[in-house]
Amino acid sequence: MSAPAPPTGWEFRVRRVEGAPLVAVRAWLRGGARAEAVPGQCYLTGRLLAEGTRRRDWRTLAEATESRGMVLTGTSGFETHAVALDALAGDWALALDWLAEILLEPAFPADRAALLCRQARAELASLADQADATTARAFLDQLYSPHPRGRPLQGTEESLATLTPEHAAEHHRRALGWGGVLTVAGLIDEAAVAERLAGLAAALPAGGDPPPEPPAPPATPLARREIVTRGHDQAHLFLGRLTVDQDDPELPALALLGIVLGAGSGLAGRIPTRIREREGLAYAATAETAAGAARDRGRLVCYLGTSPATLSRAEAAVREELARLVAEGPTPAEVEEARSYLLGREPFRRETARQWANLLATAALTGKPVDDPAWVIARLRGVTHSEVAAACRYLDPSALAVTVGLPATG
């Protein structure tokens, strides 16, 4: 249900979820890394929200939440930063009060900011040691830069050295002005929660101004890029291109096509079946058609983990499979199998209070009723075979960008 009218730019969503006596409380603020002024600014902001308020420092806050069996996290993404509290259902009012305190009275302590920046630098260093992650990052840079999706959410080694608590406070202040979404889901009395939210609404600043738009991805990314990783014996190959965003009417057709290609569970799909199972050209083979589709366009991405000795053959085989789909389209049986797979997983996305709280937020932020299973099912069932076949044009091998990560030794 929708709670009483919040201030401009904000939306409240509440849902009773039968089952375990738990509640998930969320606050999502618009903007995210797409709107940050310094790389890593949104990441630091989200993480710092769980590190204390003007009423209590990080240790006191941690002890308070742990004493009630609550789990508090501050998170960030490319489109939002958020606070999440998971609690026993009987503590829903306390969880909401604490969420409001964290949201409206954050402290952004300097010592915790310095610690989080050090942790972020350590995360980047760890990823640099992983050949597949390094190649994936280079691929995203190739497709998206100068758009923020072309860089790590944590920022860069250089930007992390410059970030301060003031950067986090400024990003949070601006995000409050852009508005957001509050969701509560669990074994609760919806009317009682709605009444409590009405009181919270008075404390929220009016929002509604849209966040600034980031630089656009390149119209024509570099066609091929090779990097040397810290790996010892494996090569990593990424092929792909930008496809569609969350508002594109072809997104459902591309979702079905992704399963045909290899985005489902296990080793099903044309890419893993041929490359790994039939020809043994790779130890890992996956494919997606609209990975990360949101306000910004998602991407077709075919990934292979292989030996340098079989790299050329593996790439040629991927291109052949893509060309075959462009020329012939998927079979009706493949489309129906893909539809059954996506329909079959839907109930498992709505089992817990956490899942519902996140779905409610996604529905509010995107303006699409993804929390309504009937809408999702009708959308998937409405996709025709011809629509999936038409979406195959995004697989054109001649339009793909390629990133290759070669081992330093081996």
What pLDDT was estimated at residue 8? Answer: 87
Task: List all residues 6 or more positions away from 379 whose beta carbon is below 8 Å from its beta carbon.
Answer: 252
Q: Is the pLDDT of residue 161 over 90?
A: yes
What φ, ψ does residue 216 adopt, rounded to 5°? -75, 150
Q: Of 197, 206, 207, 172, nearest to 100 (Cα)?
A: 197
Domain 10-201 fold is: Cytochrome Bc1 Complex; Chain A, domain 1 (3.30.830)
DSSP line for 106-133: B---HHHHHHHHHHHHHHHHHHHT-HHH
Q: Average pLDDT of the chain?
A: 95
What pLDDT was estimated at residue 266? Answer: 63
- Biggest alpha carbon–alpha carbon distance for the chain: 65
CA-CA distances (angstroms) from residue 325 to 131, 256, 258, 389, 392?
A: 30, 13, 12, 8, 6
Tens of pLDDT, residue by residue over 300-316, are: 999 999 999 999 999 99
Rounded to the nearest 10 degrees, how much is the dihedral formed by the CA atoms of 64, 65, 66, 70?
Answer: 160
Task: Give the distance, in angstroms, between the CA of residue 173 and the centroid of all CA atoms in the same chain.
Answer: 23
Which ranges of 179-329 does DSSP label H, i.e. alpha helix? 190-201, 251-261, 270-271, 311-328
Q: Is the pLDDT of residue 159 over 80?
A: yes
Q: Taking residues 209-213, report their average pLDDT.
A: 92
CATH classification code of 224-406:
3.30.830.10
Beta strand 224-228 pairing with 71-76: unpaired
What pLDDT was estimated at residue 263? Answer: 84
Tens of pLDDT, residue by residue over 125-141, are: 999 999 999 999 999 99
Q: Ramachandran region of residue 292, left (φ > 0), alpha (ψ -120 to 50) or beta?
A: left
Q: Where are the domains of the chain?
A: 10-201, 224-406
Tens of pLDDT, residue by residue over 223-276, are: 999 999 999 899 999 999 999 999 999 999 999 999 999 987 766 899 999 999
The reply to whether 10-201 and 224-406 are identical in fold is: yes
Q: Is the pLDDT of residue 11 over 70?
A: yes
pLDDT range class, residue 206, cuts 50, 70, 90: confident
What is the residue type of 267? L
